[in-house]
Structure 1
Amino acid sequence: MGRLEALVKLGAHFFAHPSSFNDPFECRPQFQYDFSKSRTLSHIDNRIRQFHPQASPAKRLLVKAQARRVFGQPRYVENIVNKVVENIGVLCCVERPDNLLMWAHYADAHKGVCLEFDTSEWLFRLAGKVSYSQTYPIVDTANQSPSLLADTMFLTKSAEWAYEQEWRIVSQPGLSSLDPTVQALVDALIGPGVHHMPLHLLRRIIFGVNASPENIALVRRWVREANLSVSFARCEIVPGEFRLIVVNQK
């Protein structure tokens, strides 16, 4: 309940590091560097010009040969990408507030809450939809665009997780916003841990079927103390069906 109180009162959103996820395959794609593709060789040439602009033709050939040996080792490429992963955090969201398994797995067996946010705001415009795949993701650092590489690493999961209908906001260096007025906020969104967001992003709090009266009263008190304009609802079981409905409350 401590994180929930901090979110309601302070706008403290927790971005988890992938190492804490319950799926051991998270952010662990296969790596390759395919020298049969011209784009790979072009990628090496561009890097040589960038880091050795004054090199002679002979020096460039030597560096290219060394690069092919080094980048041809999957472990080398994997180590580079792993350093990127060390500095990212992930805020995980879902589309539906009535998903039975999400309540069971992530809301303390329907005792917790679901938080509904205004997704038109800048933070949620950074969100990417998770893709669910039958095949294992492959990262090719030279032949994938930066956006596709990020999607492959951070937004790809096994098809067995498709029921989650997940969206993710990945906090990492280099994020950009289409709205320059919030770019400073985006620039601060780096790494795992707590990131503070405007309180008005929270629009509705939905209590689970098994939420206790004590916890419901406590959350409502936090909202009053923070002077938030937030509505409340509660999930209810549909009689005779394996289904929940969300019923608004006063």
Structure 2
Amino acid sequence: MPAPQRLYKFFSDARTSFFDSPQFLFRHPEQFNDFFDCAPQIQGVYRPDYIKSFLMGSIILRAKIPPLSPMHNDSNEFYNTFDAELESKCIDLFKNSQDLAPQIITFIDTPKGQKEFFEIDKYKHLPRIINKINSQLKNQFLAIFCLTENATNKVMWAQYANDNKGFVLEINTENNLFHEIKDKKNSLGCLKKVAYKPISKARFVTDYITPNGDFRYNALLRDAIFTKQTIWSFEKEWRIAFITEGLLPSNNVTRCDAGLLISVPSSIIKGVYLGTRASDEMRDSAIKFCTKHDTPLFQMVPTPDQEFTAEPVIL
């Protein structure tokens, strides 16, 4: 999906320095306000149809996790243990049956059958494998920049602009910054819309395993970055992300505790919106910036129906 020509970025009042030195902060996921942000949405290790296939005697697909994965050392042990438990459960339930196949097909689709088989997956093994995946993602050298389609949302003004004391920038997404980061090493580096999904629509670990048994870590990484729970859908978010490992500081890139500061041309800013509680100092800085670069300036004002609207400021 092509990105809108204009997107918006919320800033707190602590970032007033932007008007003197325009920089975008690309954050590591651990800096985000949502604890579960960039944690993969996974509802189980195996899909139910895999469990059926296994119990019917199909060839067991065992994942070969890449060496850098924290799951690598015990992946075979995990799959062997899990499959053995399924087999043991099956034999125990139908030990008096001459032909297991019809019994399994009928039983596994019942609520009792799902509880018997899937709780081994969901409640015993899933937490352990999720923790390992989350650990690897947290140690990944990631930098993410978040934008939104909506500059007037009152929840976002309260949450991301320090109770309406900050400001919002209207940004031209046609700038090369949002299109030239992507390369062979940074396959994530293009502006992409965040998808909002309930956990019931989440994937299974086996969805990230190829037919030849390879673990698709990059696919899982993309889904983790660009998928959030539906409770956040009001944000209408777009993101650009890239892997920073091996990236050297330059005139345009500076490392900081929160991530990376990337200098941007003032021409990328197509509008500035001041919060209803913006200080006089911030207002003066914004007026100087907008006057110098011929950028429209707006003041957010409350409406009778308790929403915000943007009114132009005459420079």
TM-score norm. by structure 2 comes to 0.56
Q: Does 1:238 align with 2:298?
A: no
2: distance between equivalents of 1:142 and 1:161? 29
Q: 1:210 to 1:77 in 2, by over 3 A?
A: closer
**Is the Cα–Cα contact under 8 Å of residues 132 and 158 in structure 1 kept in the other structure?**
yes
Q: What amino acid does structure 2 have at the position aligned with 1:127?
A: L
Q: Does 1:206 align with 2:270?
A: no
2: distance between equivalents of 1:247 and 1:221? 18
1:118-147 deviations in Å (ceiling 9; x for gaps): 012233352221112221644643248677
Q: Does 1:160 align with 2:160?
A: no
1:9-50 deviations in Å (ceiling 9; x for gaps): 333111121112221111222567659599x66x849x79xx
**SS at structure 2 position matched to 1:102:** helix
Q: 1:237 to 1:89 in 2, by over 3 A?
A: same
**How far does residue 158 in structure 1 lie from its aligned partner after superposition?**
1.6
**SS at structure 1 position matched to 2:199:** coil
1: distance between equivalents of 2:191 and 2:167? 21
**Is the Cα–Cα contact under 8 Å of residues 46 and 204 in structure 2 kept in the other structure?**
no
**Is the Cα–Cα contact under 8 Å of residues 118 and 203 in structure 1 kept in the other structure?**
yes
2: distance between equivalents of 1:102 and 1:78? 30
Q: Does 1:132 align with 2:132?
A: no
Q: 1:11 to 1:218 in 2, by over 3 A?
A: closer
**Is the Cα–Cα contact under 8 Å of residues 17 and 88 in structure 1 kept in the other structure?**
yes
Q: What amino acid does structure 1 have at the position aligned with 2:166?
A: G
Q: 1:206 to 1:166 in 2, by over 3 A?
A: same
**SS at structure 1 position matched to 2:293:** coil
**How far does residue 215 in structure 1 lie from its aligned partner after superposition?**
2.2
1:157-187 deviations in Å (ceiling 9; x for gaps): 221111111111112259xxxxxxxxxx9xx
Which structure 2 residue ranges, 5 or more long, are not aligned? 1-12, 54-58, 68-72, 80-124, 180-189
Q: What amino acid does structure 2 have at the position aligned with 1:119?
A: T
Q: 1:246 to 1:146 in 2, by over 3 A?
A: farther
Give % identity.
22
1: distance between equivalents of 2:19 and 2:230? 33
Q: 1:228 to 1:79 in 2, by over 3 A?
A: farther
Q: What amino acid does structure 2 have at the position aligned with 1:243?
A: E
Q: 1:114 to 1:68 in 2, by over 3 A?
A: closer
Q: Map 1:91-170 to 2 at 5 A.
A: 91-125=145-179, 126-135=190-199, 137-138=202-203, 140=205, 141-143=208-210, 148-170=219-241
- Structure showing greater radius of gyration is 2
1:77-118 deviations in Å (ceiling 9; x for gaps): 864664354311221111111111111111122221111100
2: distance between equivalents of 1:192 and 1:71? 35
Between stretches 228-237 and 91-100, larger displacement belongs to 228-237
Between stretches 117-126 and 19-28, larger displacement belongs to 117-126
2: distance between equivalents of 1:233 and 1:19? 32
Show the counterpart of 2:76: 69
**How far does residue 216 in structure 1 lie from its aligned partner after superposition?**
0.5
Q: Does 1:8 align with 2:19?
A: yes
1: distance between equivalents of 2:16 and 2:204? 36
Q: 1:30 to 1:160 in 2, by over 3 A?
A: closer
Show the counterpart of 1:171: 242
Q: Does 1:228 align with 2:281?
A: no
